[in-house]
Amino acid sequence: MRFETKAIHVGEEPNLKEGGSGDVVVPIHLASTFARREVEKPTGGYEYSRSGNPTRHALEKRLASLEDARFGLAFSSGLAAETLICMTLLKSGEHVIAFDDLYGGTKRLFNRILTNFNIEFSYADARDLKNVKDAIKENTRLIWMETPTNPLMRLCDLEGIAGIGKERGIITVVDNTFMSPFLQRPLDFGIDIVVHSTTKYLNGHSDSVGGALMLSNEELYNMLKFNQNAIGAILSPFDSYMVLRGIKTLALRMERHCQNASDIAKYLESHSKVRKVYYPGLKSHPQHELARSQMKGFGGMLSFEIDGGIKEAKAFLENLKIFSLAESLGGVESLIEHPALMTHASIPKEEREKTGITDSLIRISVGIEDVDDLKKDLDNALKKV
Ligand code: P1T
């Protein structure tokens, strides 16, 4: 099956057996526990909803199929999924190499929580693979990438990162939240584990918080699955249903996100009050060719630098009417935010500015509204600067 077909059918095959109801949509199984006939064997395959739930299971199957993975696991948030990878695969004294530009909450998890367990982190500018290779130490166990990164839209070469991991026996993880599996499938390039915040494009309607892991290595999967139950940060049946429902339109939504974002990136690039636009679909993006080679489209996220500082950024952001001034991304509605004061405020100012998250930086999650309405809204607000 092709992507669009899998997005609608995998995990939600109607039960047409004797006694089956034939629902075309998976029911929301709210039971916390499942009765059995025999003491030692769960009758329907389920025992307790934390360890397995039919609605969550349907979603996990679909998520795996979309990322060309054998296995999927769903969690209560993107950060819960990230925590599970780290708590499962890392031991005290081990070392992680991460892209120096990452979602602020991921850096907070790494620097403020996991370092308490004596896990060591190095941040490398992974646009150049040499920086990743140079950061490898004897105790390096994990390479953690976003591509494109949040919020600076930097890329790393997926095949190159997977190659380094395989050569040196290091597990590679890619956070594919910004792209969704419709636009990029890191496992196809040899990456070991994909992580998602399903809160974003997968659910797509800004009404559910969740996370997911997809992978094909059975040994790693068994460890992660055991710990999903042991730690317990699972996605609820209702949220699993919401994400299953959202995914059905993922392909259509992503096509429009890409189209609108590309239009807006070009519009901003030609505006006199904009200094610089970061969007991998622009020819001016230094990694445009890499983007073309590993992404099917350039996505709905972009950032830009307004000509000014905090004062000008605020004047612009507070005068928009259609764009909501809000954290998060990947919903049908357009959102806009100021990384230094919002999503990346937990990163110390000095470190933030070193990577390029300045006070003039603004991030947009371009929605699927009429693009001329969006451009008019931006135009009016830029006039207030
Ligand atoms: O919010 P949560 O579902 O826990 O997902 C965390 C997360 C993980 N990875 C990436 C790339 C993310 O962007 C996020 C969450 N990001 C935002 C809320 C934001 O506005 O950037």
- Specify the ligand 1 atom closest to the Cα of 365: 20
pLDDT tens string 251-288: 999 999 999 999 999 999 999 999 999 999 999 999 99
pTM passes above 0.85: yes
327 lines ligand 1 (CB under 6 A): yes
pLDDT tens string 178-236: 999 999 999 999 999 999 999 999 999 999 999 999 999 999 999 999 999 999 999 99
50 is catalytic: yes
Please compute the mean of the pLDDT values over residues 11-24 and round it to a whole number.
Answer: 94
Let me know whether 139 and 199 are in one domain. yes
Distance 45 CA to ligand 1 centre (A): 33
Q: What is the CATH number of the domain that holds 320?
A: 3.90.1150.10
pLDDT tens string 83-135: 999 999 999 999 999 999 999 999 999 999 999 999 999 999 999 999 999 99
Of 231, 247, 263, the residue at which a domain comes to its end is: 247
180 lines ligand 1 (CB under 6 A): no
Let me know whether 294 and 167 are in one domain. no
**Count of domains in the chain?**
2
Residue from 50, 70, 256, 276 carrying the catalytic annotation:
50
Give the model's confidence band at 57: pLDDT under 50 very low, under 70 low, under 90 confident, else very high: very high
pLDDT at 238: 98
Let me know whether 310 and 242 are in one domain. no
175 is catalytic: yes
Domain of residue 356: give its range. 251-382
Let me know whether 348 and 366 are in one domain. yes
120 lines ligand 1 (CB under 6 A): no
Of 247, 278, 310, the residue at which a domain comes to its end is: 247
pLDDT tens string 283-306: 999 999 999 999 999 999 999 999
Q: Please give the Cα distance from 149 to 109 (Å, whole number).
A: 17
Distance 209 CA to ligand 1 centre (A): 10
329 lines ligand 1 (CB under 6 A): yes
Q: What is the CATH number of the domain that holds 203?
A: 3.40.640.10
Residue from 175, 192, 239, 377 carrying the catalytic annotation:
175
pLDDT at 168: 98
253 is catalytic: no
pLDDT tens string 30-46: 999 999 999 999 998 99
Distance 236 CA to ligand 1 centre (A): 18
